[in-house]
Structure 1
């Protein structure tokens, strides 16, 4: 991108007086290494969206490399990372912790406390493949292990108990339970809480009777456990709260089109419509008010192994000419209440 004359100022200085929190969540796909100049593209995205909190998934080395690239451009971001997730922010980091599937940071914003979590959950036991007639990537010796992520010869699996069993075996709902216990402590200590990332699991608000015959759900409606637990604990799904209709605004984030990558690398179920919303921004209803939310990324997805433009009514915050990932990102803006 072409740098503007005012681009050398810190993004924090660009924020309005009300201290808008601009939260960008993105799976950066092998630390941005799958596309030429991936580090620079991620930095471009942060700058163009004036993100003040960036929550990265699949970011083994990206967090530090992107922070260095931003610093080279005159943008100072504080950084913490785990083996797979990372947080970049213009706000002071008071403390941080590696929660294995998440990394956590306590921030101070104008004297207020905000705790943010970046998540990337288990990709195997991908139960949403089953209704689409594909293996969920279950390791041996469990049921469906013989199919890995390949097509199931006998066709789609639509039994809800089976789908929920495979999903629970992933450990994702258990990870969310651990997060909720940690977040409860943060909330009790007066902190606002945001959690975002690639959950590798759809939303209970998306696989509904209204979408049962869309996206190769094959008549199945599933109350996916991880998001169900989050909703029950008072965490609000930013995109679905503002765009509640999963038919007109499905908010699909994976698999995203990427013009610089062969379609075979982007699709896992090449004979199915495997599109899903698996990337999220959640905030606890206490202390934060959502202003805006949109998708960041190409206006195209991969459907049955082919590139396809999206014709939904989804709100795209930005669609860069070059893209760094096989996922789309989410940009949500918040303000403190009270």
Structure 2
């Protein structure tokens, strides 16, 4: 049975379920939520997530500009003691479609038919937010959502100081959107300009870069000035330029990234996610725990393309040509790097989490046979079996259309659990983990192990940079996040388990620069197109 295919977005255009498998240490943060029903294709930084006109709603919501805090005046046709006003990031996460996406950043009750309510902004940073008047402790909209700005224009800030766009090519039109890389995107007073712009590329007031690289153009850097009411910051934008007639994409950087319930456990997760993704200079990012629209949110900020499913999503610098049918816990897209004949296929999955095999071995001292039975009980074995079956056409075509399988498998690899590493795995040696055996038997290659074949010297741990203790016991460390590939057009150059910035162990994780409890997996390829 195929699930809802989710929604695709073109570029430019209270409840966390914890991963308590054996204890509270390993957080299951993947709350299954409904997929976004429609993707915003506008890409405009002027009015993020703009929705229906005010007369669609029975009530109203306005900001009292005479007050320093967020003080709202509201009216509601449906009175309830549990009507409430919630504050969300302007660029995503709010209940625009009437259902839960993520926790509000701040909130207050709005119980009357007409009234005034102040919402604390103590924990909010300067920037652009969106306020919602919501019904009866739920997520039905009672008034048109309101975009509001917090702080002085002097607090204007970029999420990243430097940014690399998708590739341009000599003699061809180029466009990119950097208008959502600033904390006051959506504020009509925010303006972009390039006073010393390269001769072939320019930027408009909304942050849209356009131009056509001439025959002598090389990699180009734009120094873009962003202003708001006298405050100004500078964004360095690099545009890689390929020669006329040459392939647009020769090197492909693919990331598998569990973003930890959309990033909610880390303060200011949106800007930290954007900063990390920009620093890593990626082409394709396969997201897990992105349900509710986080793939759309991140792609919109980066000016990229996106597909969003119920849990997993994919964001990419290059257009998504098709969404493929996939079984539960997975999704698949076809990405067009450079016109006809340049496609790649990316499958992404987030497998079941409970029970967890390393806990069974290390804490309950189960036998291999018992653990393998529980792998099936967890859903992982049948899930991967179904995924590989659904991938049969992609596998058969991989020499002409390169294929990737990414994800948080919630299980280790048989390539890591060998006799030489048994001391690292609670005395257990060779273990044929089904979730890694099935892809390799189907002909897919584990990118990390292709680059680092020795699990003794290069364990590649991805779980976990922050969960080190498990109720007084040492948390089993393992490699449970993967990038696999197949196809003669691909050559893997590098692969690594990735953390960027500070990552302090829990419970002191809220201010971490790295916005996840997993390491990501980066794989770098040359590709023939």
Whether the TM-score (by the shorter chain) exceeds 0.5 is yes
- Which of the numbers 312, 333, 347 marks the counterpart of 1:117? 347
Superposed displacement of residue 336, structure 1: 2.3
SS in 2 for 1:240: helix
Q: 1:104 to 1:156 in 2, by over 3 A?
A: same
Partner Cα separation in structure 1 for residue 494 and residue 344 of structure 2? 19
Q: 1:269 to 1:178 in 2, by over 3 A?
A: farther
SS in 1 for 2:474: coil
Contact 2:502 2:514 survives alignment (8 Å)? no
Superposed displacement of residue 55, structure 1: 0.3
Contact 1:235 1:284 survives alignment (8 Å)? yes
Contact 1:116 1:195 survives alignment (8 Å)? yes
Q: 1:55 to 1:288 in 2, by over 3 A?
A: same
Q: 1:326 to 1:118 in 2, by over 3 A?
A: same
| Residues 1:217 and 2:408 are matched in the alignment | no
Q: 1:251 to 1:85 in 2, by over 3 A?
A: same
Relative to its length, the structure with more strand (as a share) is 2
Q: Relative contact order, CA 8 A, sep 6+: which one is greater?
A: 1
Residue 12 of structure 1 corresponds to which residue in structure 2?
A: 167
Superposed displacement of residue 297, structure 1: 0.7
| Residues 1:57 and 2:258 are matched in the alignment | no
Residue 134 of structure 2 corresponds to which residue in structure 1?
A: none
Unaligned runs of 5+ in 1: 71-75, 134-154, 258-262, 308-320
SS in 2 for 1:11: coil
Residue 194 of structure 1 corresponds to which residue in structure 2?
A: 404
Superposed displacement of residue 2, structure 1: 4.6
Partner Cα separation in structure 1 for residue 421 and residue 376 of structure 2? 22
Superposed displacement of residue 19, structure 1: 2.1
Residue 24 of structure 1 corresponds to which residue in structure 2?
A: 255
Superposed displacement of residue 26, structure 1: 0.7
SS in 1 for 2:440: helix
Superposed displacement of residue 178, structure 1: 2.0
Q: Which has the larger radius of gyration?
A: 2
Contact 1:255 1:267 survives alignment (8 Å)? no
Contact 1:256 1:301 survives alignment (8 Å)? yes
| Residues 1:106 and 2:106 are matched in the alignment | no
Counterpart mapping for 1:47-86 below 5 A? 47-60=278-291, 61-70=293-302, 76-86=303-313
Q: 1:267 to 1:285 in 2, by over 3 A?
A: farther
Unaligned runs of 5+ in 2: 1-158, 169-239
| Residues 1:280 and 2:482 are matched in the alignment | yes
Counterpart mapping for 1:143-158 below 5 A? 155-157=364-366
| Residues 1:329 and 2:520 are matched in the alignment | yes
TM-score (norm 1): 0.77
| Residues 1:292 and 2:502 are matched in the alignment | no
- CA displacement 1:232-290 (0-9 Å, x = unmatched): 11111111111111111100011112xxxxx6xx7556403410100110001443211
TM-score (norm 2): 0.50
Contact 2:491 2:525 survives alignment (8 Å)? yes
Residue 131 of structure 1 corresponds to which residue in structure 2?
A: 361
Relative to its length, the structure with more helix (as a share) is 1
Root mean square deviation of aligned Cα: 2.6
Counterpart mapping for 1:28-47 below 5 A? 28-47=259-278
Superposed displacement of residue 182, structure 1: 2.5
Greater Cα shift, 51-60 or 186-195? 186-195
Partner Cα separation in structure 2 for residue 19 and residue 164 of structure 1? 41
Residue 62 of structure 2 corresponds to which residue in structure 1?
A: none
Partner Cα separation in structure 2 for residue 306 and residue 248 of structure 1? 29
Contact 1:32 1:39 survives alignment (8 Å)? yes
Contact 2:357 2:371 survives alignment (8 Å)? yes
Partner Cα separation in structure 1 for residue 165 and residue 503 of structure 2? 34
Q: 1:306 to 1:32 in 2, by over 3 A?
A: closer
Residue 240 of structure 1 corresponds to which residue in structure 2?
A: 449
Greater Cα shift, 81-90 or 183-192? 183-192
- CA displacement 1:54-77 (0-9 Å, x = unmatched): 00011113211112222xxxxx21
SS in 1 for 2:473: coil
Greater Cα shift, 24-33 or 108-117? 108-117
Partner Cα separation in structure 2 for residue 293 and residue 194 of structure 1? 14
Partner Cα separation in structure 2 for residue 123 and residue 241 of structure 1? 26
Q: 1:187 to 1:224 in 2, by over 3 A?
A: closer
- CA displacement 1:154-211 (0-9 Å, x = unmatched): x522x11111111122221222222222222124344221011100000001111111
| Residues 1:180 and 2:388 are matched in the alignment | yes
Q: 1:267 to 1:40 in 2, by over 3 A?
A: farther
SS in 1 for 2:464: coil
Residue 413 of structure 2 corresponds to which residue in structure 1?
A: 203
Q: 1:232 to 1:337 in 2, by over 3 A?
A: farther
Count of aligned residue pairs for this structure pair: 286
Superposed displacement of residue 295, structure 1: 1.9
